[in-house]
Structure 1
Amino acid sequence: MTGTAHAQDAAAPASTADDAPASMSLADIVVTAQKRATNIQDTPIAMRAFDGDAVLKAGVSDVNGLARLAPDLGITNDTQYTKITVRGISSQDHSETADPALTINIDGEYINRPIALNASFFDLERIEVLRGPQGTLYGRNATAGALNIVAAKPKLGDFQGYASGSYGNFNAFTGEAAVNVPLGEKVAVRVSGMHNQHDGYFNNEPAGRGSAGNTDAVRASIYAEPLAGVRVYLAGEYVNVDTTGIAQYGIVVANNGVLANPAFASGIVDVIPSTPALEGGGVPLRLRFDPPKSSFPLGSLGFTRIEQYAVRGRVDVDVGSIGTLSYIGGYRDVNSDVNQPLNGFAPTTFVQMYQKDSETQSHEIRLSGGEEGGFVYQVGGFYFNEDQYMAQGLFLPLAAGGSFLNYFYRPYVKNKSVAGFAQATMPLIEDTLSVTAGIRYTKDKKSALFINYGPQFGRGSAPPAQDDTTRPGRVEFNPTPLDDDQVTWTVGLDYNPSRDHLIYGKVSTGYKAGGFDNVGSFGAEKLTAYEIGSKNSFAGRTIQFNAAAFYYDYKDQQIPIFLDTSVGSQVVNAGKSRIWGIETDTTILLSPNDRFTATVNYLDAKLTQFEAARLGLSGTIADSDPSTPGLQPFDLSGNRPVQSPKWTIALGYDHDFYFGDHKLTASLFSRFKSAYFLQPSNSLAEKQEAFTQTDFTLEYSAPGDRFSVQGFVRNIENYKPYAFAGYVNAGGQLLINYIYGTPRTYGVRGTFRF
C-alpha cells in the first residue's frame, strides 16, 4: 500500500483504457486533528491520514501494522506491550505508574495503557497520525504527538455494509464485516466485527510455534439526530485476545552470585570467551551476537489473554451564534492474564506471571465556534481517572516445584488528571495571514499501595498471598504520592499566499506526567518544540509536496533502568536531549492511472545529559572490591535515544489498468530505515542495522467497486528486524533477549460491499 496515496485518490478516470480525462486532481482529505473539521492541506500540523479502505487493504488489524502505512512511526513490542516512537520520543517504561508519550484516542476516548492497543483497528473511518507535541488540545502525555483512531459511524437513511476476508501463509485467516441499518429518518445503527488468527511465526520446538495470533472484536454503535441541532453518538466495544506468548530468543552472557542460591555459580563467569570487560553499568557495550531469527528451541510458549470492554459516546448541541457545545466521554475495563517465558531458550528458566486490570474513564466538555477564514475558538475542560490492580512475579522453575525470585502486588494504583484549555485562531489579513494561540493547565495526582516479596526459594509455584506477613522479604509501603501541575501552550503563525500553499511556524510545549516506582519518584518530561512547515499543491493539484523542519529542547526524559529482580526497574530522568529533523512527503499523479509517493525524513537525536546508576553484574560498585555492594554509576551522554534512525525513506507506486469498467491495480511500496538502537545504552548487541521491507499487491475491482480481490505479499525481503533487544540481570544471570518483527506474509483477500 502506498501510504497516504490511498487517502488521496485521484478522481475516477474514464472507463476506457489508459486515456487520460480532461482534468485530474488529488482529492481533499478532511481531518479533525485540531478537534474541528479541516482540510489536511490547510492544517498546520505535520501529520498523515489514512481512510478506512487503506487500513483494510493494508491488512492493518492493530497498532503494530501501522508501520506499513506510516513508516516514520517506530513501533516495537516488549512482550505484549506496544511502544511507539515519533521523532525520537517514546515511552520505554510500561509499569503501572508510567504513561505513554503519544496520546492515543479512539473517537475521543483517551487510551492510557499500551496493553489496550491490541485491537480496535477495524471498520474505521480514518486514522490520523500527528507528529510533534500536542499539549494544548490533547494535554498531558502528548510530547511525541497524537494518534487519533476514528471508527466508522452509523449513517442516516443508508442501508449498506461490507464483508472482507483473507487467507495466507502461517494459516492466517482474517474476517471483518459491518452493516449499517437506518431506523427511520433520525436514527441509524451500525454493527461490525473482526476475527484475526495466524499460526506462530517462529519454529520453537519442542514448545511449538511462537508468536501466534488470535483476536476477536465486535462493536455496536448508534447515531441519532433527535432534534434540530442535536447529534448523539454512542458505541460499545468488546475485544478478546487469547493466544501464545511472544517468542523471544535469549543468550546467557554471564552468571553471578547476587542471589544466595546454590543453583547459581558465584562470581562472574564469562560464558563466551570473547566477552569484553563489562562497562556501561554492567552492560557489555562492544559485544555482538548473531541470533537465529526463524527457528530456535523454547521450553514453553506461555500465553497472553486480554479481555476488554469499552463504552464511548459524544453529544453535540448547536447553541446558536455561540457555536457548538460538545461532550466526549469513554469508559474502558481491561483485564489481562499473562504467562511469559523470559529467558528465551530451552529448558525454560524464567517465567513472568502477571495479572493486570485497569478501569479508565475520560470526559471532555468543549465549546467551539467561529467560521473557517475568520475567528475560530475552542475552550473546554477534561477529566481522566484510572484505577489499576496488578499482581506480578518472576518464577524460576527449578527443583522442588520451583521458586519465585520476586512477587509484586499493587492492590491499587490511582491516576487522576484534570485540565482546562483554550485555543483560538484570529485572522490578521483575511484569507492570508492568521495567528493561533492556545494554553492548557493540567493537574495530575497519582497514589498507590506497593507490596513486594523478595526471593521465595523452595516454596513452589503458588505465589505468596497478598496479606501473608509470615513470608520472608515482605515489604509494604505507600510511595510518596504525585501531586503536580503543568501549563502547556502553543503560538503559531499561518501564511496562505494562495489557495494551494500554506506556510506555518509555531512554538509548542508538551509534557508527560511523572510518577514513582519501587525505588523512588521521577519527575515529568518537558518539551519545547520549534517547527516550521509548508504544505503545497502544484500543477492543477496533481502534485503535493509537504515539508517540516523541527528542533526539540527536551528535558527530563523518563528512561527505565533495570536494577535487579528484587526491585525491578528504576525510572530516571535523563537530563536533556537535543532532537532536530527534516521531513518531506510527496504525492504525484503522473497520470489518471499512475500515482507516486515519497517520504524522506532525516532525524538527528542525542542524549546530551544523562547520568544514572545501576546494579553491577557482580552486585558491587567495583568488581575488585566484592565486599562493597552498591550501584555502578554510568553516563550515557552522547548516545542516541531508542528507535531513532537518522534516515527513514519510503517510496510507493500504483498503476491502474482498465478493461472496460473493470480495474486492476498494481501497488509497490518500499520503506528503508537506517540503523538505530533499542536501548539507551547503545550497545552493539542492542543495535538494529539498516534494513528495507517491500510490499506488493495486485487488486481486481469490479464495476462500482462492489467486489474486489487482492493478492498481497508483505515484507518481500523476509527481513525480521528486532522488535525488542535488551540485557536483563535476572536470577543471578546476565541475559540478552531478542524479539523479532513479522516475517514475509502473503495471501489473498476478498471484499464485498453492499
Structure 2
Amino acid sequence: MNALLRIARAALPVATSLVALTPVYAQTTTAQPAAEGLGDIVVTAEKRPSVLQRTPIAISVIDPEAIKRNNVGSVEDLARIAPSFSFQAQHTQAILSIRGVSSRDTSEIGDPAVALSIDGTYSQRAVGLNAAIFDIDRIEVLRGPQGTLLGRNATGGAVNIVTGKPMLDHFAASVSAEAGNYDAFITKGMVNLPVTDTLAIRAAFQTRDHSGYRENYPARDGDDEHSKAARLTALFKPTDRFSVTLSGEYTFQNGVGPVPQAIAWRNGANGTTDFENKPAIPGDGKTFSLTQGGFLHLETTAIRWNVDYDLGIANITYLGGFRSVDFKRLANYGTVYGGPRQNLSFNQVEKPETWNHELRLTSKAGGPLKWQIGGFYFREKNDLTTLIEDYPGKAALLAPASVLQRYRYPDVVSESKALFGQVGYKLTDTVEVEAGTRYSDNDKHRTGFNQITNTNAFYSTGAINYTTTQQASDAASKIWTYHAGLNWQATPRHLLYAKFDTGFKDGGFTDLASYDPEKITAYEIGSKNRFFGNTLQVNLAAFWYDYSDQQVTQSVNINGTARNLVVNAGKSRYKGAEVELNWLATPADRFDAFVGYTHAEYTNFAVLFNGVNTQLAGNTPPQAPRWSVNLGYSHDFELASGTLTPRLQTHIESETYFTFFNRGTDRQGGYHRSDFTLTYKPRSGAWQVDAFVRNIEDKLILSYAFDPTGATRSAYVYQYAPPRTFGGRVTVNF
C-alpha cells in the first residue's frame, strides 16, 4: 500500500500540471437542450443503467451543473441541496439522515442508517469522505430502506457518489478557482486524456482552504478547512465486451477542525437543571474562548476498481475497493464558567482499513424478464485509542495530561457477507412485478481494555484511581430482507409503482451492554410524471415505516462519569409524503421544488432516566423534522455578449431534536436558509464566472447538541453549521 500512497500523492501535482499546460473541453451531460424540454438522466440505483423517470424508486439526482453551482465538495454541502437529506456533525463524525431516519452511534462499533458509497464501494463511516467529493458525474440520493440490492445497513436510504470516468472518444479538461470571505480559496481541475483507442486516463484534483468560522482566541479559530485531494482513473477497454476501470485517490486534511462549544447547563440558585429552556449561547456561537492545542489530521488513501464483461446473455461485474484512513485529532471542550474542568479534551487516534468486494451477474436489457444475482463481502479493521484528558492550570493542551478515561482497542473488526438476487417480469407491455431477497451474515468484535477514574474524586482531591475493564466483545447476526414491487408504465411519461421492503441495521455492543439489530418494514407508493410537452416533471411518493428495536444512543451517569449506552426502542413509526417538481416554464425560466412531510414518533420506548423507567412514546426521533422544503428559481437573461443567470434557492425546515428526550435544550427551532448565485457565460469562449452568497440570513443553526449527563463534562455541547459565506469563482472549459 506504500506504493499506492506514493502514486496517489503524485497525482496531485501531475493533475495540476496537465490542467495548466493543456487546452480544455467541456464535459458532456445527460440533459437535453432546453428546446426539447427536460432531459433524461441515467442512474444506476438498481445496479443497472436505467432512466430516472422510469425507475420505481424515490430518488433524487444532483447533476454536474447543480454540483458545480453549489460547489459541492463535502457531504455537508450535499445536505444543503439534496431533498429530505440532512447532515449533522458530531465532532468530526457525520450523522446522515433520510426521511428522518438516522443513526446516532458514531463509534467504531456503530453503523450508519444511510449507506454511503463512492462508485459502488460502501463506506462504514463518513469520516474522510468530505475531501473526496470532487470531479463528480452525479450524486444519487435514494430515499427509503434498500434491503435487497444495497442492503448494508441502509434502513434510511442510500447515497451513491459517482465520480467522473475516463472517456475514449475525446479529450476534455477544466479548471476553476474560487475565493471568498473567511480567506476561502478553492481550486479544482480535471483532464481526460485518450491515450489509445482502448486506453484513457482521467486526472483530477481539488484544494479547499478557509479560515475558521469561530473566533476561539487564544486558540486558533475552529471550524476551518485545509484539504487537498487527487484522483487518477484509468479505463482499459480492449473490446466492446470487456472493460476495466481503476481509480487511485489520495486526500489530506489538517487544521483545527470542528470545534464544540461547552454551554453551562446548571440554572437556578439550587443548582437544578432546566431542560425545558435552551441556555444562553455566549458569543452567539461565533466567539468563545478555547485553549491552544486542538488539531485535526486526516489522511486517506483509496483504490477502487470495476471489471465488466459482456457474456452475451448477461453481464458479469466485479467491483471492489480498499480504503485506508490515518485519523488523529485533539478536540478541546473548553472551560465551563470557571469550573474545575479547565482544559478538558478528547484525544483520538484510529486507523481503519476497509475492503469491499462484490461479484454480480446481470441480465441484458430486452425481453419480459430481467434479473440479477450477486455476492458481497465487506471488512473493516480498526486500531483505536481514545483519551478523555484534562490539563489543569496549563495555558495549552501540552503533555503531560491527566487522563480521566482511556479506551485502547487495537483489534476492532466488522465483517459482512451477503448473497442477493432480484427479478422483474413484465406481465404486459406496461405492467411489471418485482421480487428480491438478500441474506446477510454479519459479525463484529472488539478486543482491548478501557480505564476510567471517578471524576468527582479527581476534581475534589486530584486522585486518580483507575477501574480497568478488559474487552473481548462480539456480536453476530444472520438476517433475510425482502423486496416486492408492482410497476405500471401507464404511458411513456407516466409511471405508477407500489413496493414493499424490509431492512435492518446490524446490532453491536458498548462498554456496558449489547444491543440487537434494528429492523424496518416499509410500504411505499409513488408516481413519476412528465406533462406539457416534457417541460413539467412531478414526482410523488407516500410511505409508511414500522420500526422494531430501533437503536438509540443514550448517555448515562455511572459513578460520576458519563458513559454511552445504545438501547433498542420498542417500536416506532414513520409516515409521510413527498412532492418533487421541476418545471421548465419557458426556455429561460426554471423552477424546482421539493416538499416533504414526515410524521415520526416512538410508539413504545421505555428508557432509564435518573433511575426511573420512563416511557417516551409519542416523542419524535432525533433529526426527523416534520416539514422539509427546498425551493429554487433561475432565469436566463440573454445579453449581446452572453447569458446572465441569477438563481435563488432556499431550504425550509421545521423544528427538530438532537436527542429522543425532545427537550428545549436539544431543540433546533424551525428555520430557513437561502443561497443566491449569479452566473455569466459568454457566447464565445469556454469559460464562465459565478458569484454567490450562501446562508444569506446568516442563521446560527445547530448541527449537534449533546447532554453528557455526567461529571466528566457538566455542560451541554453545541456545534454549529457554517455562517454566511460569499465569494466568486472562475471556470475555464476549453
1:289–1:272 Cα change, 3 Å:
same
Q: Does 1:193 align with 2:205?
A: yes
1:705–1:31 Cα change, 3 Å:
farther
**How far has the Cα of 1:137 moved from its partner?**
0.1
Match of 1:65 in 2: 77
Paired residue for 2:450, among 449, 452, 455? 452
Q: Distance in 1 between matches of 2:385 and 2:588?
A: 56
| 1:225-374 paired onto structure 2 within 5 Å | 225-254=237-266, 271-273=267-269, 284-291=274-281, 292-300=284-292, 302-321=294-313, 323-343=314-334, 348-372=342-366, 374=368
Matched residue SS, 1:495: strand
Higher relative contact order (CA 8 A, sep 6+): 1
Q: Which runs of 5+ in 2 are unaligned?
A: 1-27, 395-399, 459-463
Give deviations 1:15-58, integer Å, cap 9, x for gaps. Answer: xxxxxxxx541011111111111111001111110122321221
Q: Distance in 1 between matches of 2:270 and 2:578?
A: 41
Match of 2:20 in 1: none
Match of 2:548 in 1: 555
**How far has the Cα of 1:371 moved from its partner?**
1.8
Q: Distance in 2 between matches of 1:399 and 1:55?
A: 48
Matched residue SS, 1:728: coil
1:585–1:457 Cα change, 3 Å:
closer
Letter in 1 for 2:154: A
Q: Distance in 2 between matches of 1:638 and 1:300?
A: 44
Q: Does 1:483 align with 2:476?
A: yes
Instruction: Verify the 8 A CA contact 2:453 2:465 in the aligned structure 1.
Output: no
Letter in 1 for 2:547: Y
Match of 1:628 in 2: none
Letter in 2 for 1:742: P
Q: Distance in 1 between matches of 2:231 and 2:138?
A: 16
**How far has the Cα of 1:419 moved from its partner?**
0.4
Match of 2:505 in 1: 512
Q: Distance in 2 between matches of 1:180 and 1:732?
A: 53
Q: Which shows bigger deviation, 208-217 or 394-403?
A: 394-403
Paired residue for 1:598, among 581, 593, 597? 593
Instruction: Give me the TM-score of the superposition, normalised by structure 2.
Output: 0.91
Paired residue for 1:103, among 98, 115, 123? 115
Matched residue SS, 1:55: helix
1:636–1:734 Cα change, 3 Å:
farther
| 1:605-754 paired onto structure 2 within 5 Å | 605-613=600-608, 616=610, 621=611, 632-660=612-640, 662-703=642-683, 706-754=686-734
Match of 2:16 in 1: none
**How far has the Cα of 1:634 moved from its partner?**
2.8
Matched residue SS, 1:556: strand
1:680–1:704 Cα change, 3 Å:
farther
Instruction: Verify the 8 A CA contact 2:455 2:712 in the aligned structure 1.
Output: no
**How far has the Cα of 1:202 moved from its partner?**
1.5
Give deviations 1:153-199, integer Å, cap 9, x for gaps. Answer: 01103211100110000000100011111111000001111000101
Q: Distance in 2 between matches of 1:301 and 1:583?
A: 46
1:372–1:120 Cα change, 3 Å:
farther
Q: Does 1:394 align with 2:419?
A: no
Q: Distance in 2 between matches of 1:346 and 1:154?
A: 56
Letter in 1 for 2:354: T
**How far has the Cα of 1:399 moved from its partner?**
5.0
Instruction: Verify the 8 A CA contact 1:508 1:529 in the aligned structure 2.
Output: yes
Q: Distance in 2 between matches of 1:533 and 1:301?
A: 52
Matched residue SS, 2:67: helix
Paired residue for 1:210, among 201, 222, 235? 222
**How far has the Cα of 1:596 moved from its partner?**
0.7
**Number of equivalent positions:** 690
Give deviations 1:480-534, integer Å, cap 9, x for gaps. Answer: x212110011000001111110000000011001111101111101000000000
Q: Distance in 2 between matches of 1:730 and 1:402?
A: 20
1:474–1:452 Cα change, 3 Å:
same
Instruction: Verify the 8 A CA contact 1:404 1:457 in the aligned structure 2.
Output: no
**How far has the Cα of 1:8 moved from its partner?**
8.3
**How far has the Cα of 1:613 moved from its partner?**
2.0
Match of 1:570 in 2: 565
Q: Does 1:417 align with 2:411?
A: no
Match of 2:15 in 1: none
1:330–1:633 Cα change, 3 Å:
same
**How far has the Cα of 1:74 moved from its partner?**
1.5
Q: Distance in 2 between matches of 1:48 and 1:708?
A: 26
Q: Distance in 1 between matches of 2:199 and 2:633?
A: 41
Q: Distance in 2 between matches of 1:661 and 1:502?
A: 42
Instruction: Verify the 8 A CA contact 2:172 2:192 in the aligned structure 1.
Output: yes
Q: Distance in 2 between matches of 1:686 and 1:456?
A: 27
**How far has the Cα of 1:685 moved from its partner?**
1.0
Match of 1:262 in 2: none
**How far has the Cα of 1:224 moved from its partner?**
0.9
Q: Distance in 1 between matches of 2:438 and 2:270?
A: 54
Matched residue SS, 1:33: coil
**How far has the Cα of 1:670 moved from its partner?**
1.0
Q: Does 1:376 align with 2:370?
A: yes
Matched residue SS, 1:143: coil
Letter in 2 for 1:350: L
Match of 1:11 in 2: 33
Give deviations 1:577-630, integer Å, cap 9, x for gaps. Answer: 11000100111111000001111111100011111225x4xxxx4xxxxxxxxx
Paired residue for 1:527, among 520, 524, 530? 520
Instruction: Verify the 8 A CA contact 1:593 1:656 in the aligned structure 2.
Output: yes
Instruction: Verify the 8 A CA contact 1:162 1:179 in the aligned structure 2.
Output: yes
**How far has the Cα of 1:373 moved from its partner?**
6.3
Instruction: Verify the 8 A CA contact 1:340 1:353 in the aligned structure 2.
Output: yes
Q: Distance in 1 between matches of 2:220 and 2:295?
A: 12
Instruction: Verify the 8 A CA contact 2:556 2:710 in the aligned structure 1.
Output: no
1:402–1:188 Cα change, 3 Å:
closer
User: In percent, how many aligned pairs have the same letter?
Assistant: 36
Give the CA RMSD over aligned residues. Answer: 2.2
Instruction: Verify the 8 A CA contact 1:406 1:566 in the aligned structure 2.
Output: no
Matched residue SS, 1:557: strand
Matched residue SS, 2:66: helix
Q: Distance in 1 between matches of 2:347 and 2:520?
A: 36
Letter in 1 for 2:84: D
Give deviations 1:387-407, integer Å, cap 9, x for gaps. Answer: 011100110122595421110
Matched residue SS, 2:661: coil
Letter in 2 for 1:714: R
Matched residue SS, 1:116: coil
Matched residue SS, 2:205: strand
Instruction: Verify the 8 A CA contact 1:672 1:691 in the aligned structure 2.
Output: yes
Match of 1:261 in 2: none
